[in-house]
Structure 1
Amino acid sequence: MSIQFQPTALVGAIALALGSTSSVFANEQKIATTSLDTMVVTASRSQQHIKDVPARLNVIDEKTIQQSPIADLPSLLTKEAALSVKQVGGYGQPASIFLRGSNAAHTLILQDGMRSNTATVAGTNLHLIDTTDIKQIEILKGPGSVQYGTDAIGGVIQLISKTPTKNSAFTTIEVGEKNTYKSILGVDAAENGYYAQIRGQRLETDGDQIISNQAKKAGFDQKGYSAKLGVDKDNFGLSAEFKENEGHGDYFSYGAPEAYDFTNRLYNVKGYLKLNPNLVWETRLSQFEDEYAIVKSAYPSTVITEQQEIDSNIQWQINAEHKLLLGVHYNKTEAESLNTFKDENDSTGYYLQHQYQNDVISTQAGIRVEDNQQFGTHTIGQLAGRYKLSPASSIYANVGTAFRAPIVGQIISEPAWWGGNPDLEPEESVSYEIGFDHLLVPSVTLYGSAFQTKVDNIMVSGALTNWVFENMGSATFNGAELGLKWTQDEFYANAEYAYIQAKNDDEDADLPNRPRHNFNLTIGWDNGQYGASTTLVAKGKAKDSRDIPGYAAIDMNAYWQVNPHLKTFVNIRNVGDTNYKTAVNDATSYYIASDRLASVGMTLKY
């Protein structure tokens, strides 16, 4: 499909949208700031108010996600100051995340509880996960291995999908420069505790120039759908969901054009049963598949990850203040590179967590014993607490250990050129954090935190033998965050600064791709019928084989809820059209970020 989109067409579309005449209806949308009453689940595996979490947890809410359907997951995460995103280009290009300075493989990605990190390369295909049916994204900063096992040294990012609450149908279309468009169609049904949901989506773009000295553009397209069925009653619930996203992307390797195909699928069955008012049994059965095939290259290849999980736990509300969680989690991972290797590993974790909650104190203490087929038994723990100094102020502290086991793709020994090392040892870490939240006045909240994570047995490629994975020494991640949230009637502003120092202890040198200085600012106005916001993302310089300069980029969004059935919106990403550098490509060039993308869209809802 080809869409000829020009700036004049954008202006015309905006004028047409704003010139429509209709009755004025206010809707129930809220200002895009996280409320203290927001419910989250990632920190403790059970619902709790965000204000009671004894850790720093941020939420990207549904309204922010819906501002621009063509915004991919790396773009959404960029607006977190303590999280650096290294994307080597725009749509469809690989993206790595560095949460509080930790390595790209130290952040666990979950979709409704299911692990979505790959097992052939460290990390995940973050840029290929669709967000069409996502209600909110929870970002837990700090170790989460007690709750979720391996990979959560730096933190956990969980995508939580929507559950229908009423009958509705909608379609959303957004079109923009570079022949970019995304269309979504969705239908929800809900009655007497039973619900069903289906979504379909398609995105295409001509893409951007991704290398500074090459004018070639890298196109990208994807399509997918999701479906969910369930029942939610007072004493029991059961749901089943399926998601699939597939597509095609272009990239360049040493100047030569190449291409890949991808498919990822998620199967999720979850249920709960209230054995009595204070005792709940929850079980989840999941499977995640990720296939990445290089189809245009001098060296074509296909790598596949398939993970299966069973997680079952009992939650016992002992009394009004004490809660106990006891569970077991099993993961089986199979990974292969076609015609190269095929291997598997499984791990079983046993976890116990106690929570105490009253009007003044909130605590969380947990322990996990992980029995890994190839790497033996590891025991990790966490102790955290939040204390309310007054109705307006609270402080918190936590300490936790975590680990990351080598993935299948790092330990296979054949073929030798792959670089696997079966003698690798897991990485182990200990983290400390203190923080505060203070309501300066009813409209202004100030918050801050300081943290340190030390990781031993860091895994690197080519350290001692060319391209072979080896355990090196240690790395330390130190930092602090300071943020301010302001709301006044229909106006709001959020600002956050993060200082992060990530060092290789053996060499006393900064680790690559981690800017020390990070600042985000969002200001906006929203009365439920009209709204507009502007976001500034600023990053200082970062290390690589040579320095990556710092940058500042501005995004803008505005919407008009014409009536209960029609919403129009406009987005301008990277207003200044800045081709800032994101990573080193070769001796003379850099990968560069996407330049300006202006778009308009509308949602029709019944």
Structure 2
Amino acid sequence: MTLASVPTLTLLLGQAAFAATADEGEEGTRLSTVTVSGAASVSDAQRDQIRLEQVAGRTAVVDNRQVEQGRASNAEDVLALQPGVFAQATSGTGANKISIRGSGLNTFYQGYVLGTKFLFDGLPISGPGGTQEDFLDMQAVDHTEVLYGANAFQYAALSLGGAINMVSKTGRTDPGHYARFELGSYGYRKQQLSTGGVVGDSDYYVNLVHNERDGYQDNTPNEGRGVAANVGHVFSPQLQTRFFFRYREEQLTNGNTLTRYQLKHDPRSNAVPTGRRKDGTYFIGNQTTYTFDDGAKLEVGAAYNDYPLLNGWRYAAAPQDWRSKDLNLTLRYLRTGDTLFGLPSDSSVILSTTRAYLADVKSHSQTTGAKLQETNYTGSRDTVFALGNDLQLADDLWLTTGVSLVNIKRKAEIESTTSVNRTDFPDRVGFTENALAPRIGLRYDLTPEFQIFTNLSRSIDPPVTWQMGSTGNPYLYDLRPQKANTFEVGIRGSHGIFDGSLTLYRSWVKQELLTVVVQQASASQDQLTATSNASPTIHQGIEAGLNALLWEGEGGDSLALRQAYTLNDFHYRHDATFGDNELPGLPRQVYQAELAYRQASGFYASLNVRAASSFYVDFANTWQAPSYVIWGAKVGYQASGERWEVFADVRNLTDQRYATAANTAYDASGRDSANFYPGDALSLTTGVAFRF
């Protein structure tokens, strides 16, 4: 099924000169055009939107408060309605499959989001071992910045997908006490308490959360609890600092993948459950800013991230005990109001380095407890030093230039194993590589309402440590960084009742890191994957959206339509085996829309839809995931002053049976195979919140 075959979905993309920003609303859209009339009238989310609109490329800001007018349990809820972003929950946990412009498009889903850098308040939680999913529950997040590709330059992010920066709520943005309770289908339960305030020149914020879910598939209970807190202090108008603390623990039981037949006829079956336990993930960080007399700023950040994992907990024959501890240092020196060649100039100097100071994995026998294998990654490192400049060539024309110097170190060594390596693969892999990643861009104000932009950039994605091998095999894969050159062009703006943007991009990728499932999980064996550097590939696509204020009453009531459309075209370039085959893992087309009615009194109701085309699950392009159309609806009431709120969020109204994501096979030979993660059937979540 193609999107065009759904007659009820009107894309409205003939007006795509305006596409993909959005007015304020739920579920992950950009904020409406902001007119600054005074500092007090601008929220932190709006201020960051204004800042990101100075980037010569696609960016977005999501106001998480608007997302919280419905179920807000993971990244899928926050990143919905973002063109070019694929975010789908699997097994109902925080282990979302997240991909921007095809980054990490066929990575297996259980955590480890690849190809995108994740940060909290500008401090990375992504490191040499990838990104754990623990903190992607979006707890205590005020707003979320989405920076596509090289447009994430300011965060020293060089991934193909760019960066997602989650900005925390503070005592200044969320003073007072807050309580929230959610209850839903399949045993979903969530309780949240927070308090924040300002005391003199200091402020504080603490958020506690507990969540449970019995699961849609049989035998897939999940439970988690966490704390998010921060304390800030303003020493003077020039010097301020903030300390951050996050803690999260989880026990997850995930369902096995299904065949297409099972997906349609028995989607709740779970013959081979897998367990994952996180006994406590810690994130401790500090961000200190000093403003010089001339207006220049120095931001100094440091963070410690400890994310242990017991993989295969309870069910695997050989569970794996992972230790991952990262240290990060970030420096940003930002200058504004200078001149260069007699022209207005802003510049930046950025350093970010993340080191795995303790990283290893041990597997042991579930029955005897004996150690079977140990692999060590300690010392792996990612370091980026970047110089950037924005030069105003004319009143309405800006030139953006930048260059990043990248130092990548990877170390993987099998220190002990009870298995025999009967292959030519090594048991020790390591390399240090230096590279340059330049970027150049232009943005031009066509009118006060419209801006066009274009850029050319390079991205560099080093392999994460576990891709080289862990404990499933007594050998390692000798991988090298994935590199891509990307051209992007787009327009954004608003006119009358419309606002939005349209972006086209094309990436020429070399040595793309692609993963394949080489052994399906069964009652007697664990799932095994293999990653390799591919022959040249292409990632290209269209990111479009159109938002319209269809009606506005005299009393402030409104009816608004938001839309987002993504075209993904990812394929090989003349591969010796697969020719120009499509790369498996993501739908070629995705369309999302929401029609929302709001009353000034606080009542709101909306109808939403997500439609996705089919996609291949094997590199040989012989078997596909089914296409789907999912409808949902929300209704709620928010009292004046946000003193209390109640809502109901219904998803999958037509009880569609579909796959949220899929594993990737080498060649399915046109046969049905167990590669699909089932999405939830018809579900209802209700919630109530109080602020006092």
Classify the TM-score, shorter chain: 0.7 to 0.9
1:369 paired residue number: 405
2:462 paired residue number: 405
CA spacing shift, 1:248–1:266, aligned 2, 3 Å = same
CA spacing shift, 1:363–1:532, aligned 2, 3 Å = farther
Aligned residues: 564
- Counterpart CA distance in 2 for 1:588 and 1:384 is 45
Q: How far does residue 111 in structure 1 lie from its aligned partner after superposition?
A: 2.0
Q: How far does residue 390 in structure 1 lie from its aligned partner after superposition?
A: 1.2
CA contact (8 A) 1:118 1:290 kept: no
Q: 1:328 aligns with which of 346, 351, 365?
A: 351
2:220 paired residue number: 218
Q: 1:36 aligns with which of 22, 33, 38?
A: 33
1:322-350 residue CA offsets vs partner (Å, 9 max, x unmatched): 21111222211242113521222123321
CA contact (8 A) 1:398 1:434 kept: yes
1:547-568 residue CA offsets vs partner (Å, 9 max, x unmatched): 0111111222222123432221
Q: How far does residue 109 in structure 1 lie from its aligned partner after superposition?
A: 1.8
- Counterpart CA distance in 2 for 1:598 and 1:253 is 24
Q: How far does residue 73 in structure 1 lie from its aligned partner after superposition?
A: 1.4
Which amino acid in 1 is paired with 2:117?
L
CA spacing shift, 1:180–1:189, aligned 2, 3 Å = same
Q: What SS is found at the alignment partner of 1:375?
A: strand
User: Are 1:434 and 2:469 an aligned pair?
Assistant: no
User: Are 1:282 and 2:299 an aligned pair?
Assistant: yes
Indicate the larger mover: 58-67 or 592-601.
58-67
2:273 paired residue number: 257
Alignment of 1:136-215 (within 5 A): 136-144=143-151, 146-149=153-156, 152-165=159-172, 167-209=175-217
User: Are 1:553 and 2:642 an aligned pair?
Assistant: no
- Counterpart CA distance in 1 for 2:471 and 2:273 is 27
User: Are 1:582 and 2:582 an aligned pair?
Assistant: no
- Counterpart CA distance in 2 for 1:206 and 1:415 is 30
Q: How far does residue 169 in structure 1 lie from its aligned partner after superposition?
A: 0.6
CA spacing shift, 1:235–1:127, aligned 2, 3 Å = closer
1:387 paired residue number: 444
2:38 paired residue number: none
CA spacing shift, 1:517–1:253, aligned 2, 3 Å = closer
CA spacing shift, 1:188–1:550, aligned 2, 3 Å = same
User: Are 1:459 and 2:513 an aligned pair?
Assistant: yes
Q: What SS is found at the alignment partner of 2:473?
A: helix
Which amino acid in 2 is paired with 1:360?
D
The root-mean-square deviation of aligned C-alpha atoms, in Å, is 3.0
CA contact (8 A) 1:108 1:157 kept: yes
Q: What SS is found at the alignment partner of 1:256?
A: coil
Q: What SS is found at the alignment partner of 1:143?
A: helix
Which amino acid in 1 is paired with 2:635?
A
- Counterpart CA distance in 2 for 1:445 and 1:474 is 37
CA contact (8 A) 2:150 2:157 kept: no
User: Are 1:510 and 2:578 an aligned pair?
Assistant: no
- Consecutive unaligned residues in structure 2, runs of 5 or more: 1-22, 36-41, 106-113, 258-270, 364-373, 410-430, 519-527, 553-557, 664-671
CA contact (8 A) 1:463 1:472 kept: no
1:500 paired residue number: 568
1:21 paired residue number: none
Q: What SS is found at the alignment partner of 1:410?
A: helix
Q: How far does residue 463 in structure 1 lie from its aligned partner after superposition?
A: 11
- Counterpart CA distance in 2 for 1:189 and 1:73 is 27
User: Are 1:449 and 2:457 an aligned pair?
Assistant: no
Q: 1:295 aligns with which of 294, 299, 313?
A: 313
- Counterpart CA distance in 2 for 1:517 and 1:496 is 11
User: Are 1:115 and 2:133 an aligned pair?
Assistant: no
1:7 paired residue number: none
Q: How far does residue 206 in structure 1 lie from its aligned partner after superposition?
A: 0.9
- Consecutive unaligned residues in structure 1, runs of 5 or more: 1-28, 210-215
1:215-244 residue CA offsets vs partner (Å, 9 max, x unmatched): x24111111111110124521110001011
- Counterpart CA distance in 1 for 2:151 and 2:449 is 28
2:240 paired residue number: 237
Q: What SS is found at the alignment partner of 2:214?
A: strand
- Counterpart CA distance in 1 for 2:487 and 2:151 is 13
Q: How far does residue 516 in structure 1 lie from its aligned partner after superposition?
A: 1.4
CA contact (8 A) 1:481 1:497 kept: yes
- Counterpart CA distance in 2 for 1:415 and 1:590 is 24
Indicate the larger mover: 266-275 or 482-491.
482-491
CA contact (8 A) 2:281 2:307 kept: yes
Q: What SS is found at the alignment partner of 1:409?
A: helix
Which amino acid in 1 is paired with 2:302?
L
1:56 paired residue number: 58
1:481 paired residue number: 543
1:19 paired residue number: none
Q: How far does residue 81 in structure 1 lie from its aligned partner after superposition?
A: 3.5
CA contact (8 A) 1:494 1:522 kept: yes
1:334-372 residue CA offsets vs partner (Å, 9 max, x unmatched): 421135212221233211111235752344221111123
Q: 2:131 aligns with which of 97, 121, 124?
A: 124
Q: What SS is found at the alignment partner of 1:267?
A: strand
- Counterpart CA distance in 1 for 2:301 and 2:219 is 42
Which amino acid in 2 is paired with 1:243?
R
- Counterpart CA distance in 1 for 2:458 and 2:489 is 15
Which amino acid in 1 is paired with 2:384?
G
CA spacing shift, 1:253–1:450, aligned 2, 3 Å = closer
Which amino acid in 2 is paired with 1:552?
V
Q: How far does residue 577 in structure 1 lie from its aligned partner after superposition?
A: 2.2
CA contact (8 A) 2:81 2:564 kept: no
CA contact (8 A) 1:151 1:405 kept: no
1:384-441 residue CA offsets vs partner (Å, 9 max, x unmatched): 22101112222110111010112222346x86815523x42211111001111243x3
Q: What SS is found at the alignment partner of 1:537?
A: strand
Which amino acid in 2 is paired with 1:361?
L
Q: How far does residue 277 in structure 1 lie from its aligned partner after superposition?
A: 3.6
1:342 paired residue number: 376
Which amino acid in 2 is paired with 1:537?
R
- Counterpart CA distance in 1 for 2:662 and 2:587 is 14
1:136-159 residue CA offsets vs partner (Å, 9 max, x unmatched): 112222235744456611221221
- Counterpart CA distance in 1 for 2:472 and 2:190 is 43
- Counterpart CA distance in 1 for 2:44 and 2:326 is 22
Which amino acid in 1 is paired with 2:163?
V
- Counterpart CA distance in 1 for 2:377 and 2:65 is 42
Alignment of 1:97-112 (within 5 A): 97-104=98-105, 105-112=114-121
- Counterpart CA distance in 2 for 1:84 and 1:460 is 17
CA contact (8 A) 1:139 1:157 kept: yes
CA spacing shift, 1:576–1:416, aligned 2, 3 Å = closer
- Counterpart CA distance in 1 for 2:78 and 2:152 is 24
CA spacing shift, 1:605–1:154, aligned 2, 3 Å = same
Instruction: Determine which structure has the larger strand proportion and give its number.
Output: 1
- Counterpart CA distance in 2 for 1:40 and 1:99 is 27
Q: What SS is found at the alignment partner of 1:406?
A: coil
Which amino acid in 2 is paired with 1:314?
Y
- Counterpart CA distance in 2 for 1:386 and 1:557 is 38
1:162-197 residue CA offsets vs partner (Å, 9 max, x unmatched): 122264111011112222111110000114442001
- Counterpart CA distance in 1 for 2:243 and 2:59 is 27
Which amino acid in 1 is paired with 2:615?
A
- Counterpart CA distance in 2 for 1:277 and 1:424 is 46
Which amino acid in 2 is paired with 1:64?
Q
1:6 paired residue number: none
CA spacing shift, 1:541–1:469, aligned 2, 3 Å = closer
- Counterpart CA distance in 2 for 1:169 and 1:588 is 47
